[in-house]
Amino acid sequence: MSFSISQVSSSSHALTPYGWDEDWAAAFAPYAEQGLLPGRVVRVDRGQCDVVTPDGTLRADTAFVVPRDPMRIVCTGDWVAVDPDGDPQFVRTLLPRRTAFVRSTSSQRSEGQVLATNIDHIVICVSLAVELDLGRLERFLALAMSSTAGAALLGEGAGGGEYEAHPLVLLTKADLVPDPVTLAHLVEDIERIAPGVQVLTVSSATGEGVDVFGAVVGSGTSVLLGTSGAGKSTLANTLLGEDVMDVRAARDVDGKGRHTTTTRNLLVLPGGGVLIDTPGLRGVGLWDAKSGVGQVFSEIEDLARRCRFHDCGHETEPGCAVLGAIEDGSLPERRLDSYRKLLRENHRIAAKTDARLRSETLREWKRRGAEGRAAMDMKRGRIR
């Protein structure tokens, strides 16, 4: 069975609730000429995926799409082309990704893992049932702010500023902080480390803030990210108006969940918009997040431009504006420590994946080693 471009455009109205638009239709046009069917991936597991198409939801194998490249594995949120007459059915190709949330895996090979694609809002869920971990939140934000660059990293070339995924910090379980003054202070703490990022509070138990959050995610595609126990699936059920996602109570001792959600699921909200619920993340290693780190710590990078030396390391150099801000109290030392840590980690990951950078790093280590040995030889010569 074959499909013309006009047939795809008319029949794909069924995909409009899933985010189909004229740009996706234009991107799919070459595949329509091949008789393929458009669809969006709503779930992936065990090498297969559920794809919603104009003809309904079908089960397709993902092995056809560059299975050995972890950055090209079919992911929840992808728009794909499938063969409607295949038996078994395969995903034939991925349409260029507009945005992607990517983290590094915990493997020694430091591969990237794509968690969600073609997203407009990255919702970082932080539970108020436990003490705020500002360092972890800064890490999430750095990855979120690098999401548009992530699409270019995947070889898509669809980013370039035309499409962006906007981060949002959602403080969940707000009912556990009944004092409005305390809650306001917590919001201020987050706003200080998340420049330009919207911060909302919500409680699925009382309904507080759900309407405001629902309005934000009522258009485009949003992904819920956070640790287990942050209330992501409960919030998804609240927005859906029914218990679609399985949930369990978090442990009272530490507020942690038990990874009830095991796959990433794409859900259409009744009020409009698309939501991707994800399993709790234990680790969020950086991946090509230099630009995101710079945005999260924009005040440090602004200060660095005023340092006396352009290559200032902000350690002991004279005329360092960053150290000056630490001394006068305008910049918390914790922020500088976190900034350094994330930059080092991102550089280390990049060095493992970029042969040129690896070579430059090795030459720098050799240069410093040679200088150190020369200094030691001179010192020993003077002692003699």
pLDDT tens sequence across 302-318 = 999 999 998 898 988 89
CA distance 253 to 256: 8
Mean pLDDT is lowest, of 9-18, 41-50, 238-247, 352-361, for 352-361
Instruction: State yes or no: pLDDT of 157 exceeds 70.
Output: no
Per DSSP bridges, beta strands 265-268 and 274-277 are antiparallel
Higher-confidence residue of 370 and 169: namely 169
Q: Give the residue-averaged pLDDT of 202-207.
A: 93
Residue 6: predicted pLDDT: 56
What is the distance between the terminal CA atoms of the chain, rounded to a whole angstrom?
89
**If DSSP states are collapsed to H, E and C, what string results for the chain?**
CCCCHHHHHHHHHHHHHHCCCHHHHHHHHHHHCCCCEEEEEEEEECCEEEEEECCEEEEEECCCCCCCCHHHCCCCCCEEEECCCCCCCEEEEECCCCCEEEEECCCCCCCEEEEEECCCEEEEEEECCCCCCHHHHHHHHHHHCCHHHHHHHCCCCCCCCCCCCEEEEEEECHHHCCCHHHHHHHHHHHHHHCCCCEEEECCCCCCCCHHHHHHHCCCCEEEEECCCCCCHHHHHHHHHCCCCCCCCCCCCCCCCCCCCCCCCEEEECCCCCEEEECCCCCCCECCCCHHHHHHHCHHHHHHHCCCCCCCCCCCCCCCCHHHHHHHCCCCCHHHHHHHHHHHHHHHHHHHHHCHHHHHHHHHHHHHHHHHHHHHHHHHHHHHC
Buried-state track 177-186, b at ≥16 Cβ within 10 A, e below 16: beeeeebeeb
Nearest to 88 by CA among 67, 61, 63: 61
Q: How confident is the model at residue 342 (pLDDT cuts 50, 70, 90)?
A: very high
Residue 287: predicted pLDDT: 77
Nearest to 304 by CA among 335, 258, 272: 335
Residue 241: predicted pLDDT: 84
Q: Determine contact, residues 139/286, Cβ cutoff 8 Å.
A: yes
CA distance 16 to 221: 12
> What's the one-letter identity of residue 178?
P
Share of the chain above pLDDT 70, in %: 80
Q: Determine contact, residues 63/90, Cβ cutoff 8 Å.
A: yes
Per DSSP bridges, beta strands 166-172 and 121-127 are parallel
- Tell me the two tokens of residue 304: 């660095």
CA distance 273 to 25: 19
pLDDT tens sequence across 3-13 = 555 555 655 57
CA distance 240 to 247: 14
Residue 160: predicted pLDDT: 44
Residue 383: predicted pLDDT: 45
Task: State the average pLDDT for the chain.
Answer: 83
pLDDT tens sequence across 40-64 = 999 998 888 999 999 899 999 887 7
Instruction: State yes or no: pLDDT of 384 exceeds 80.
Output: no
pLDDT tens sequence across 316-333 = 889 999 999 999 999 999
Q: How confident is the model at residue 29 (pLDDT cuts 50, 70, 90)?
A: very high
Instruction: State yes or no: pLDDT of 218 exceeds 70.
Output: yes
Instruction: State yes or no: pLDDT of 37 exceeds 80.
Output: yes
pLDDT tens sequence across 167-180 = 999 999 999 999 99
Higher-confidence residue of 263 and 82: namely 82
pLDDT tens sequence across 114-123 = 899 999 999 9
Strand ordering across the sheet containing 221-225: 198-201, 166-172, 121-127, 221-225, 274-277, 265-268
State the CB neighbour count (10 A cutoff) for residue 315. 9
Share of the chain above pLDDT 90, in %: 52
pLDDT tens sequence across 248-281 = 544 444 445 444 556 789 999 998 999 999 887 8
